[in-house]
Structures are given as C-alpha cells and as structure tokens.
Chain A
Amino acid sequence: MSDRTLYDKVWERHRVRELPNGQDQLFIGTHLIHEVTSPQPFAELRERGINVAFPERNVATTDHIIPTDPETRDDRPLADDSAEQMLSALEQNTEEAGITFYGLNSDRQGIAHVMGPDVGATQPGTTIVCGDSHTATHGAFGAVAFGIGTSQVRDVLASGCVAADKSDVRRVEVTGELPDGTVAKDVILRIIGDLGVDGGVGYAYEYGGPTIARMAMEGRMAVCNMSIEGGARVGYINPDETTYEYLRGREFVPEGQEFDERKTYWESVGSDDDAVYDDVVEVDVDGLAPMVTWGTTPGQVAPVDEPVPAPADLPADEREAAAAAQDHTQVTPGEPIAGHPIDVAFIGTCTNGRASDFRQAAAVVEDREVADDVRALAVPGSTTVKRTLEEEGVDRVFRDAGWEWREAGCSMCLAMNDDALRGDERCASSSNRNYVGRQGSKDGRTFLMSPAMVAAAAVEGAVADVREFDTGGALR
C-alpha cells in the first residue's frame, strides 16, 4: 500500500491492540510532563499501587506556574503556596519515578512545547502526548502529537499508552508567497478565520504546500501550535531536510551513522505522494496582511488594515457572539483595528516564544522606545532560547527600548503566576487565546497577533501595522 498519510503510518506502528469500546490502545513514544496536570495522576498511581511503566519515555519540566521575574525567580519556597506545592510535587514525583526533570534551575527548563524541540526530544515518526492542549506543536516535526486530559496522563504513566480514536485527515494546502511583514502566525490566524474555531473537530490537520515547505521550523511550530484553536487536536507537517537539519546535533538526537539510520526512519513516515485525504482545503496567502483578533475567540480575526466587521454583516449564527465579543473588547466595527489603544505588550508563549520570534520583533524594537504607559514583557519560551538570545545581544535591544526581559515560562499567556492583566487592560499578545479572562483578569482584553506586530503596538501604544515600520528587511 502506498497511499497512506503520515498519520496512518505513525498510528499503525504505535497501535498495540483494540480496546473493548473499539478504541485503539496506542503506544506513546514521548510523554511531556508539567506541574499543572501531573500531581493528581501521580497521586492516583500511588493510591493504586502502580509504578510508572516506561520512565525513560517521559520528560518533565515546569512552565505554567513559575515566576518569570528575575528578582524572585530563584526564591524557594515560591511566594505562592499552591505554586510551590505543585512544583515540589513534580520534583518529588519525577525523582521517585526516575524521570528526567528540567526544573527551575535547569538550563533546559522551558514551556514543554518549546523545550521538547530544544532538546530534540520531538522527532518525526513518534507519538507525543502532554496534559496540555497545545501539544500539536510537536507535529511540526512530523510527529503525531496531541493534548490529553489528566486521567489520560495517568493512563500513559501507568501503561505507556492512551486509548484513542483515529481522526479523519484534512490536508491544508498553503500556497502563495508570504508578503513582507507577515509570518507563520498570520497564516494560522487566517486559516482559523477561514475554517472556524470548530472547523477542525474530528480532523487531524496535515499542513503542506509550497508556503509551508519554505517555512523554517519555528514558523511550522507556530502553525501546528494553534491547530487546537481551529478545533483540530492534531496538526502536523511532513518532515523534510529543514526538519532533519534542525534536529542534527540536539541532545536527544543520535549522531554519526546512527543519525543516518534514524533519518531513514524519519523519511519513511512522510505521507505518500498519492496519499488519500478525507478532505483537502487550499489557503492562498498571496496578499496576506498582518492579522489581529478583534473578539474573544481566535476565529474573530481580520487583517490589521481592514474594517472590523459589524455583527450585522456576519452570518446570522455568528452575530450574537460577535456583538458580545465587541462589547467586551470595545473595538469599533466598520473601522480597522489599527489605532486601537493597548496598555500591555506581551511576547512569548509556546506559539511565539522562540528565538526567531524575538529576533523578528527586535527589528521593530531596536531604537524605538516603548510608548508611555505601556507595560512591555518579553518572556522567552525556554531557558535555552533565553541564553541563545542573550549571547546574540537581543536581550539588550529589548531592555534598552524599555521592555522587561524575563525568565522563561508561560507567563501572561494564562496568568497562573504573577504576570497578569489588571482590570480592563488591553494586551497586544503573541499568545494563542483571547478568551475572556484568559490573561488573568475577567475584564482584560487580548488582541492576538505576530511578535513583530506586538512590538509595533508597544511602540505606538496602539495596534499598528508593522509594514509601516522600517525593519531593514528583517521581516521578509
């Protein structure tokens, strides 16, 4: 048979057996663990008298609850009691089970979905799960990766497997030349805007086509990362030379002849040329403009220079939600969102917290002061990313312009630490969710955009069009 997708091939190789309810028992090659969704499963295993089945297939880190303020970062116990409890539980659980843990002081610590690729634990042809919905990020490498719930975390720890149903596969064919000033984030926001926030339910998304083929790994990760915002639990990209070269030399990746052998496997899992898809959609990015969300779901999005739609102009079933969303965000329908004031600028997260995201933003940040009254936070996605940027001097560019340069973590993406919106602050954010209350204040307002667009907003104190900034060609 030679008409199979990567998804089919990887699934088949990891399938252990069929369960009584018709689901497949699927072996999990890599399980990523963090402090928020792991304390209960470890405790439940202990209660049931079960040990961790494949400790060497697990990698743990801490990301959601830790402080990112360099001043307090190393203070133990953590100032927040419940955060301290979660972190110590993870330290103890991983120690007992013999699981690799990149803790607070590790130079490998980071958001799970940044750390995995950093160390090369994320590889093509593997199955990857994590108790976190943005696990599809790892699909950028040609892995079948998806988020799981806490009971399923218990399943993986106890059995090395999850019970899962195979989805249909939709090929998302991306064509066209990305215009200057637009990046992967704009592509995925556009896809979600087109296909809807629940358009991907029941599907695994295979992103492909010339635009994706030209994209660097960081961009591919940003695209796969937000699959879940489009309803798809799995999003992936077939591995190619870009993937293999990115992996070469990373800690978890073998070297020399073993690398070549591993590569042969990686090459074998890609979708066949005549692979059969359950659905195919085309997205043409020619003429794409930087995208900004105007509402309270990632699908409520428009090009920065086009008018925000009036609810009455939307399909009947979207009007009520759009009106409620605009009431919350206070944008003006009929006018472009450019110019809408912001109070906070935030660059980071598992979507856009990688080195190239900060480098792109730095082209805007450099020699341009953060506007008065704007709080600007740069939070690298991992300690590896942070050190890389510091070696390049990128941190200085941010600091000199008035940005806070933070330690790695999830930070203001969901505000489980001290980094949160206050009151009804408006935030230009490189994160992935603009749900009401997401950034820690129920009245806070989030506008999703690319890192360079966040940087432009920080300078203007309002949503701005990055294409109007001279960036010396850095955003080409």
Chain B
Amino acid sequence: MTVEAPDAPDDLRVTRVAGTGVAVRGDDVDTDQIIPARFLKSTTWEGLDEYAFYDNRRDDDGEITGDHPFDRPEHQGASVLVVNENFGCGSSREHAPRALRRWGVEAIVGESFAEIFADNCKSLGMVAAEAAPGVVAELQDLVEDDPEAGLEVDVAEERAVYGGNEVDVHIDEAMREALIQGVWDTTTLMRDALDETREVARDLPYVEEVE
C-alpha cells in the first residue's frame, strides 16, 4: 500500500537552495569534529551554532584562530557547504547537521555521506547532495577563489549551478522526494497509520500485547 503525499504547506517544500558557498576539505570528517560530544549535554537544541567544528576553529588556548572557513569573513552568510568523502561518519548525533544548520548551512554538496548523517539531514529538511570528486574539487576551488560567487543547488533537477555553469549532483531519491513534497518530518505522517501499525505488530510472534 502506498499513501498519497499530504498537502504540505509550501514553506516545508525544499526545491532549491541558493546563496554562496563555503568549503571544508578532507575525507572522513567525523561527527566528533563537527560537534564534540561535550556539547551534546543539553536537553534543548539551543546554542548549537557556536559549537560547529568547535575544536578545529580554536587554538590551544581555546581562542578562535580565524583560519577555519566558518570564521573567515568572506564566508559569513554562506548556505552551501562543499565537502569531500564520507562526511559525517561516526555517531548518530543529530546535533551535527543541526549545528551546521544553525551556522547557516542549508545544503551540503559532497563526494559521499555517512548514512545516518544523511538521514539526519533529511529529518531537518536539509539537502545532502552527492557529486563526483572532480565536481566537488571544482566547487571547492570556486568558493575559495571567489567567495562572493553565487552557488545554487537545484533539488528537483539534481544539479548545482554557478557562474553560468551547470553540473550534475545526485540526491538520494527518498531525500529528494521528501524535500520536494515537504514531507521530511514524518512524525505525524506515520502516526496516521497507527491502526495498520498495530496490525503488523499483532502478527509478530514476539509482540505480546497490542491494545
């Protein structure tokens, strides 16, 4: 059985992200780098933007060095993050994409993503688009050489657009549909099927009571 998409309000639909870019280079950038575990000690999501890449941005005395792309004046306000391979590997902490989001990132273009990280991006209505290594290299050079250059990620058409160029990116189908249809928040959607869920549960030999 397939359900029809509910009519999502327009502001939940994510069809394109346009702005300027910022590059964070390196393979296997893990979630402990994106946000160290000590900043997970909170019962709310407040203040996360300060913690994005916290240790990488600071020197031994805890002072911001200003060298990290997230601190460079020319990248303030950037909305497209360009990364390399296996970005977001490690823990399941949703704090990682949330910290990036609070800093301003709305779309990430990378060679590849860790699965849970990509799933978490989807849960937030945030784009994680894959691109060939050559394309990523080109985009990283572009945003470093010309930080003012416009960079757009078109979700529906699966492409990145900059300075009159168009390059292919790939967005996982489930993510793309969720973004375009505005159904990335699945809580209410799935709760609507409580009756069918109970039926599935009743059929399972290990589930003892289902009201």
Contact = CB atoms under 8 A, between A and B. Distances in A.
Contacts of B201: 27, 54, 160
Contact of A25 (B60, B172, B190): B190
A142 B114 CA distance: 23
A133 B27 CA distance: 19
B16 interface: no
Interface string B163-188: 00000000011111110010101111
Interface string A34-75: 001101100100001010011011000000010000000000
Contacts of B193: 16-17, 25, 159, 161
A202 to B, nearest CB: 7
Contacts of B26: 321
Q: Contact residue range for chain B?
A: 35 or more
Contacts of A152: 119, 123
B41 A416 contact: yes
A435 interface: yes
Contact of B94 (A150, A437, A440): A150
A123 B204 contact: no
Interface stretch (B2-10, B72-80, B135-143): B2-10
A27 B3 CA distance: 16
A177 B27 CA distance: 35
A185 to B, nearest CB: 19
Contacts, number: 219
B15 interface: no
Interface string A140-175: 000000011111101100111101010000000000
Contacts of B60: 443
Nearest to A203: B115
Interface in B183-201: 183, 185-191, 193-194, 196-197, 200-201
A194 B15 CA distance: 39
Contacts of B28: 197-198, 297, 321
Nearest to B201: A27
A83 B42 CA distance: 8
A30 to B, nearest CB: 9
A85 interface: yes
A436 B32 contact: yes
A201 B89 CA distance: 10
A89 B43 contact: yes
A27 B200 contact: yes
B33 A437 contact: yes
B85 interface: yes
B18 interface: no
Given A133-B116, A158-B190, A21 B178 contact: yes
Interface string A1-26: 00000000000011111111111010
Given A36-B40, A148-B92, A163 B206 contact: no
Interface of B: 1-6, 26-28, 30, 32-33, 36-38, 40-45, 55, 60, 85-86, 89-95, 112, 114-116, 119-120, 123-124, 172-178, 181, 183, 185-191, 193-194, 196-197, 200-201, 203-207, 209-210
22 contacts: A13-B200, A19-B189, A21-B5, A40-B45, A54-B201, A132-B91, A147-B116, A148-B119, A149-B94, A150-B123, A151-B185, A152-B119, A154-B187, A158-B191, A160-B194, A198-B114, A201-B112, A228-B116, A317-B27, A414-B32, A433-B32, A440-B38
